[in-house]
Amino acid sequence: MNKEKVIFAFFIVLAMTLNFGFFMGEIDNADHHNVYELYAALVVSLICTVMKFGDRTHLGALMLATSLVADLQLVVVAVIWGYAEQISASGMDDHMMASVVSLAGGALLSNVVSVILLVIETVQVRR
Please check the confidence at residue 57 and state whether its pLDDT lies above 90: no
97 touches 30 (CB < 8 A): yes
18 touches 44 (CB < 8 A): yes
User: Looking at beta carbons, which pairs linking 118-124 to residues 24 or more positions away fall under 8 Å?
Assistant: 118/9, 118/12, 118/63, 120/59, 121/57, 121/59, 121/63, 122/9, 124/59
77 touches 103 (CB < 8 A): yes
| pLDDT tens profile 9-37 | 999 999 999 999 999 999 988 889 999 99
pTM: 0.91
Q: How confident is the model at residue 127 (pLDDT cuts 50, 70, 90)?
A: low
